Amino acid sequence: MTTANPPRPGDPPVTGLIMTGGGARAAYQVGVLRALRELLPAGGPVPFPVICGTSAGAINAAVLAADADDFALGVQRLLTVWENFHVDQVYRADAFGALANSARWIGAALSGSRLNGPVSLLDNAPLASLLARHMDFSAAKRHIDSGCLQAFAVTCSGYTSGRSVTFYQGRDGLTGWERARRIGVAMPIRREHLLASSALPFIFPPVRIDGQYYGDGSMRQIAPVSPALHLGADRLLVIGVGRQSSQAAVPQPSNGFPPLAQIAGHALDSIFLDSMEVDLERLQRINRTLSIIPPETLAQNGYPLREVEYRVITPSVPLSRIALDHSHELPRVIRGLLHTVGAMKRTGSNLVSYLLFEQGFCRALIALGYADTMAQGDDLRAFLTAGS
């Protein structure tokens, strides 16, 4: 693929890690990383010189970037948080905090009135406090300067501009990019970028960065793999949070109109899953096309595209099915709120899976991510240690 910062001739392979969004579903990524920690030699730095995250995946990416010199430590930090998560660490689940915020959101939607500040269904102030306590936002720059890390990027969606904006920090010489509806902007990553990138549409409030409001990075991210390639990666590991379409079950007939929660869950799946599948299909087509063009023809014509080897790890079991088994773990107030839109039924479990920041659900997803990764362990080990 043609990119802003192509790999330099003679440089060793650069593997980019891409972690997509999905609220509580991002616990699956932690299970994958735990397995990779066991598959790779102990005591080394993060095996991904380029780390890119979107939505909740941006928060996981930020932790790895902060511990780029010690992969095992970064994974352990993620495990410590995700294995012991509770909803009230991410959004207010008390009666006043949850219901007052929801009432304000519903009132604004019905009245169409202009408000002075962001409006959302839930208040994620606890997440802001969690990040402030545990994140060292200066660490990524130190690791870039020391050579442990080449680039770290977080993608957000601009509500004002309508563009997908990837904010990145990287080694000297990296340049930004501008494509249709998406740009790359060099800027130190702060807490605001993580909150913006993980602000699920309508559910969490948008965040103001340099005079513009931004929301969840998956909303306008039509090319999720491109930031890593623009930042110099020539090989990719993608950790998704939804089953690939080839794995999808045959849809069952329905006798009634879908409840609001089912529609909302479908909309979130469209935001978080569809663009990644489409982008990977595009990458696969480009690779196939380039494989049948003789190298001398590419060289003679100055063809700017290049083949990109990649691996994808996605859940082998629908995460909504696991969410249905753990939905009772949600606080009573949140269960009541979700019950009003039909989310506590089987058809609404997709929506619940994005909000179920509870210990049992997160641990189940971590275990699944670990098992799915170990199932292809030999191939992943060979892929990640090639050229080292």
Separation of alpha carbons 27 and 31, rounded Å: 7
> How much is the pLDDT for 124?
92
> How much is the pLDDT for 201?
82
> How much is the pLDDT for 187?
96
> How much is the pLDDT for 312?
94
Task: Return per-residue pLDDT of the chain as tens, 388 residues.
Answer: 567 777 766 678 899 999 987 899 999 999 999 999 999 999 899 999 999 999 999 999 999 999 999 999 999 999 999 999 999 999 988 877 766 666 665 665 555 555 555 667 788 999 999 999 999 999 999 999 999 999 999 999 999 888 999 999 999 999 999 998 899 999 999 999 999 999 988 789 899 999 999 998 888 777 788 999 999 999 999 998 876 554 444 455 555 556 555 665 566 666 666 677 787 888 888 888 877 887 777 667 666 677 889 999 999 999 988 998 999 999 988 888 777 766 556 666 778 888 999 999 999 999 999 999 999 999 999 999 986 6
The amino acid occupying position 175 is: T
Separation of alpha carbons 277 and 50, rounded Å: 21
DSSP string, 176-236: -EEETTEEEEE----HHHHHHHT--TTTS--EEETTEEEE-TTSS-S-TTHHHHHTT-SEE
Residue 112 tokens read as: 């169409």
Whole-structure pTM value: 0.87
Q: Kindly compute the dihedral angle of the four CA atoms of residues 89, 91, 93, 97, in this order, to the nearest 10 degrees.
A: 130
- Which long-range CB contacts under 8 A does 83-88 form with residues at least 24 apart? 83/359, 83/362, 83/363, 83/366, 84/359, 85/24, 85/27, 85/357, 85/358, 85/359, 85/362, 86/357, 86/358, 86/359, 87/330, 87/331, 87/334, 87/355, 87/356, 87/357, 87/358, 88/126, 88/331
Closest CA to 50 of 2, 1, 5: 5
> How much is the pLDDT for 33?
98
CB-count exposure of residue 252 (10 Å: 0-12, 13-18, 19+): exposed
Residue where the block lists tokens 């202009």: 114
Separation of alpha carbons 146 and 118, rounded Å: 39
What backbone torsions phi and psi does residue 107 show, to the nearest 5 degrees? Answer: -60, -40
> How much is the pLDDT for 101?
64
